Amino acid sequence: MAEAFLSSPSNNLHRLSNHYFLTIFPNRHSATRLYSPPPRSLIDTPHHGSKSDPQQVHISLAGEDYMRVTWVTDDKDVPSVVEYGTTSGEYDTVVYGEHTSYTFYSYTSGKIHHVKIGPLEPSITYYYRCGGHGPELSFKTPPSTFPIEFVVVGDPGQTQDTVSTLAHVGDQDYDVFLLPGDLSYADEDQSRWDSFGRLVEEYASRRPWMVTEGNHERECCAFTAYNARWLMPYEESGSASNLYYSFNVAGSHIIMLGSYTDFKKGSDQYKWVEADLVKVDRKATPWVFAVMHVPWYNTNEDHKDEGKSMREAMEDLFYKARVDVVFAGHVHAYERFTRIYNRKADPCGPVYITIGESMEEPDKGWHISLATKFNRHQILLAEYS
């Protein structure tokens, strides 16, 4: 996990792992002796409420001054409505939204509600209730200006390590959560999507979670469950797909890219990224981030060169737009590159950071833990641990 606290473009980046907090200074490099800890158990998070009670609640930014509230009910008759206000127990605004559901082989999802609320004031705590009843929840809106604090977590999954990471997240007074793919590791087991939604609800219902897809979201060559459950502001940002989009928050422009949808030159995603970056006003948003699943730069032996074709297609767009930082997951290790372009150090290129978590599912017979094998001859370009 990485944490970034921004007050001006010269501020440092911070890293928070499962065990410690470390400030990363851009021009230092080091090598750490790495080891892979033993597997920690897979967890399942059940629903203890009634069929009409909201579950799997999470929020996401949905355009300037708006928030989208998403939740699931087993009862198909529950209305898609959110009541909210700035005083606990007093809901002076009521908004109705939309709902969807999907079928995957013999599984049929619950009713998935999406309600867009606003306009909202910055840095304010709002109290809300989903579906006309159920427990009161609350969230805090991001600030409108610096400083702003992001938490970035890749490949969380559903193990005891996930619980530990989320506990560290909960200890931070951050503003926005960024997730570069591989959320639930459902891998076609749709009940794991439900379990993941319940696991993260405590955190995802209090701060906006902005996510993009990874390879474990692709089920039978499609993203049906991901798109139904994790609706992001793609329409608000002029994108044609929920798999890539952008948003502004407090002086930052964030581009969420799709590693598993067409990115070649001339593709819809490529043309959208090109148009999106041209519109960036660096006076209004002096910071520009990109978030994706597969890293473009990676000295680890795991997933080596998987991001090469996407980098070759889009890197010039990032360089021309002077993107500041690129976050990725996929590789289950931490690695930070200096500013780089076309595989060489370049003061005008982005900083590339890989922040994949270790994901372990012994019940499925596989163990993907820390990726410990780096190509050390590239140490002058990268810091890893």
User: Which CATH number covers residue 34?
Assistant: 3.60.21.10
Average pLDDT score over residue span 323-350: 94
- Say what percent of the chain tops pLDDT 90: 77
Question: Among the three residues 85, 117, 139, which one is the final residue of a domain in this structure?
Answer: 139
Check whether residue 370 and residue 308 sit in a common domain: yes
Helix (H) or strand (E) holding 311: helix 308-321
Q: Is 29 a catalytic residue?
A: no
Closest CA relative to residue 29, chosen from 385, 382, 354: 382
Check whether residue 33 and residue 80 sit in a common domain: no
Check whether residue 266 and residue 291 sit in a common domain: yes
CA 253, CA 286: separation in Å to the nearest integer?
A: 8
Check whether residue 188 and residue 315 sit in a common domain: yes
Query: Six-digit token pair at 87?
Result: 């005083």
Strand bridging mode 252-256 / 287-291: parallel
φ, ψ for residue 321, nearest 5 deg = -85, -5
Region of residue 320 (phi > 0: left; psi between -120 and 50: alpha; otherwise: beta): alpha
Q: How many CB atoms lie within 10 A of CB 145?
A: 10
The pTM of the full predicted model, rounded to 2 decimals, is 0.88
Check whether residue 363 and residue 303 sit in a common domain: yes
Question: Among the three residues 83, 109, 139, which one is the final residue of a domain in this structure?
Answer: 139
Is 77 within the bounds of a domain?
yes
CA 288, CA 290: separation in Å to the nearest integer?
A: 7
* Residues comprising the chain, all counted: 385
Question: Among the three residues 139, 164, 199, which one is the final residue of a domain in this structure?
Answer: 139
Give the pLDDT confidence score for residue 135 in this predicted structure.
95
Strand bridging mode 148-152 / 176-179: parallel
The range of the structural domain enclosing residue 374 comes to 2-43+146-384
**pLDDT tens sequence across 38-94:** 667 889 999 999 999 999 999 999 999 999 999 999 999 999 999 999 999 999 999
Least confidently predicted of 20-24, 150-154, 276-280? 20-24
Check whether residue 106 and residue 238 sit in a common domain: no
Confidence of residue 3 (pLDDT cuts 50, 70, 90): low
Check whether residue 374 and residue 233 sit in a common domain: yes
Check whether residue 101 and residue 125 sit in a common domain: yes
- Our count of domains for the chain comes to 2
Among 303, 330, 332, 367, the one annotated catalytic:
303
